[in-house]
Amino acid sequence: MTERQLKEFDTTQSTTEETPETTISEPDQCPECHGSLRTDETRGETTCTDCGLVVSEDNIDHGPEWRSFSDTENQSRVGAPTTQLMHDKGLSTVIGWQNRDAGGQSLSSRQRKRMSRLRTWDERARTKDSRDRNLKQALGEIERMGSALGLPKQVEETASVLYRRCLDEDLLRGRSIEGVATAALYAAARQCGYPRTLDEFATVCRVEQMEVSRTYRYLADELNLEMRPANPKDYLPRFASDLELPENVVQRARELLDAGKAQNLYSGRNPVGMAAAALYAAGKLEGVEITQNRVSGVVDVSTVTIRNRYQELVEAAGIELDLQ
DNA sequence: ATGGTTTTTACTGCGTC
DNA sequence: GACGCGGTAAAAACCAT
């Protein structure tokens, strides 16, 4: 059987492995349900994305110490955070645009002129060559699209890293900045477990969907990105909230997807369709008012596909369903 | 280019509100 | 009659070779 490889779904295999999260701590599987784990740095907790089990808490924060010592010594031990989202990682100087000195006094006209010249030179120094200007624009796009699609900062950072690699490996020749930036963000979103469909990207980016998918494929190949098919479960929370479905339906959908996966239903199928069908089936089982049409509209998959997947899922989970 | 697979489109009939 | 739902055939999209 030949299998589709791109669009949302490069399904080269239907294994039982979970999609690895990017934030991996020591254990990589939930001891209870073998679901994937996610580490919340700020709370210091590692939790299972499936059953919500807290695997470990009070992780030691090896990060920088942010506390300032305003009482005794007026120093903090760290500088500004670096970020991949600025083309120079936030390490360059920044000269404010207000013509005021550090005390808030406005400057004399002579000093104003001086500052203006400094700003000019500072700007030149910061974006000193075309590479930097390129990066600057791309990162701006990544940030814009990321927030338009509600992607966490972590994804934007990952995309930025990918884009830098593209620049380093000279992959931009003949491609638009926008296209590569979009492809990088698309790949990053998937890698981080927050997949968005190509359709969704098409609504926020300024290039053709075709170009994005082509560029993405190119990047994945050239940068040796090991892209697994998107996990249908990753779509559930977002679609469920768009459809205003309660948590018990989502939970049910997860179970259905597990059953489907166990029966090798994923192979070659659009993960978006799987998620849509699972939600529809789960809604029906939980007695929630829901139509194929509405799911189809929100998820952007045809009702036919929902029907087909839905029947397969029900069959895969047949035993439990008969009890209902 | 071609062939195999999945998804979509368009159309159908049936039952219900 | 409008709608939800299930089914089908043909077209389109997609990937692999």
Q: Is the CB of residue A285 inside 7 Å of nucleic acid strand B? A: no
Nearest of A270, A223, A221 to residue A10 by alpha carbon? A270
Q: CA(A4)–C1'(C12) in Å? A: 15
Spatial neighbors of A288 by CB under 8 A, at least 6 apart, are A245, A246, A249
Q: For position A228, what pLDDT does the model report?
A: 83
Q: For position A47, what pLDDT does the model report?
A: 67
- Give residue A86's pLDDT band: very low, low, confident or very high (50, 70, 90): confident
CA–CA separation, A210 vs A179, rounded Å? 10
Looking at per-residue pLDDT, the higher value among A44 and A293 belongs to: A293
The pLDDT mean for chain A works out to 76
Q: For position A156, what pLDDT does the model report?
A: 95
CA–CA separation, A49 vs A20, rounded Å? 11
Q: CA(A302)–C1'(C11) in Å? A: 15
Q: Is the CB of residue A42 inside 7 Å of nucleic acid strand C? A: no
- Give residue A146's pLDDT band: very low, low, confident or very high (50, 70, 90): very high
Residue A44 in this model has a pLDDT that exceeds 80: no
pTM of the model: 0.66
Structure confidence by residue, pLDDT tens digits, A238-278: 999 888 888 999 998 999 899 888 888 888 888 999 999 99
Q: Is the CB of residue A305 inside 7 Å of nucleic acid strand B? A: yes
Separation in Å, CA A123 to CA A90, A95, A113, A244, A273: 14, 9, 15, 48, 48
Residue A62 in this model has a pLDDT that exceeds 60: no
Q: For position A6, what pLDDT does the model report?
A: 46
Q: Is-contact A313 A284, C-beta < 8 A?
A: no
Q: For position A276, what pLDDT does the model report?
A: 92
**Closest residue to B3 by CA to C1' distance?**
A2
CA–CA separation, A283 vs A315, rounded Å? 16
Q: CA(A196)–C1'(C8) in Å? A: 32
- Residue A290's SS3 state is coil
